[in-house]
Amino acid sequence: MGTLHSSALPINPSGLGVNADLTPDVTQDSSQPAASAGCNCYLSNHTLVSRIDAAIKDPDRTGLDRIFQALQDASLHVSSYLACARCNGGCPRLINLAVLHQRQVSLLCSMAKNPAAYLGGAASEGLRFALGAYRLPDEDDLDHKRIALLGAARRIDALVTSFDDRVRSHQDAEMVGEPGIEMTEAARLNLRWLLDVARNLKSRLKVILSILENANWTTAGT
């Protein structure tokens, strides 16, 4: 457990299956470039996906501090990406964000299922919450890590809810369209994929949050 595979697998909306990622098997609308000129949004998105992937694939070599930092950076990136005037605000941006949100949720999922690998891995050994020179007792320290992760999961849940709203607004705009111009097959496929991703992520987050809300999570499986 705790490892993820990148192959395309069916959606598993009812559980925590770490293999439930959807891959963006969609057709890019050729009129809308995936990357924008003049800003770093696409590159930042790609870099964050790689950082989060590294934590999923090799928890032993990724300390909890770096995981929290990557999740925080991802949240900040989403805000600036959505505010970027240079980026195309349509489907390409939503697809890039979908890929990032998938990785965020996959990491949470992997951590929720296998706390020992992330809390007790080599890279996280010796990492403790501190207040000046004060160190928490071990048991409290573990619970603070759970609470910190729960906070990160709730922030990601809010991002995914907002993503879902954006996809639906985009769908409404596409449906209205320009008079006399029908929605292309590519646009239809992209929208269907985005709606599936949003639904899948929301459902997985619900399970993840319920696991992390359990005070005994840190000792699960040990």
Please report how close the Cβ of residue 40 comes to Zn ion at its closest, in angstroms. Answer: 7
Cβ nearer to Zn ion, comparing 41 with 48: 41
Q: Report helix, strand or coil for 135.
A: strand
| 149, containing H or E segment | helix 138-176
Query: How near is the Cβ of 46 to Zn ion at its closest, in Å?
Result: 13
Q: How far is the CB of 162 from Zn ion (least distance, A)?
A: 18
212 with 112: CB under 8 angstroms?
Answer: yes
Tell the smallest beta-carbon distance from residue 155 to Zn ion (Å): 21
- Residues that bind Zn ion in the complex, under the rule CB under 5 A: 36, 39, 41, 84, 86-87
Residue with Cβ nearer Zn ion (54 or 82) = 82
Burial class (CB in 10 A: 0-12, 13-18, 19+), 153: buried
Question: Which is nearer to Zn ion, 14 or 80 (by Cβ)?
Answer: 80
Nearer to Zn ion, 36 or 184 (CB): 36
Counting Cβ atoms within 10 Å, is residue 36 exposed (0-12), middle (13-18) or buried (19+)?
A: middle
> Is the distance from CB of 104 to CB of 157 less than 8 angstroms?
no
Q: Least separation, in Å, of the C-beta of 41 and Zn ion? A: 3
CB 13 within 8 A of CB 64: no
* CA neighbor of 218 nearest in space, from 131, 150, 122, 129: 150
Instruction: Give the orientation angle of helix 185-212 with respect to helix 91-113, to 10 degrees.
Output: 30
* Closer of 81 and 217 to Zn ion (Cβ): 81
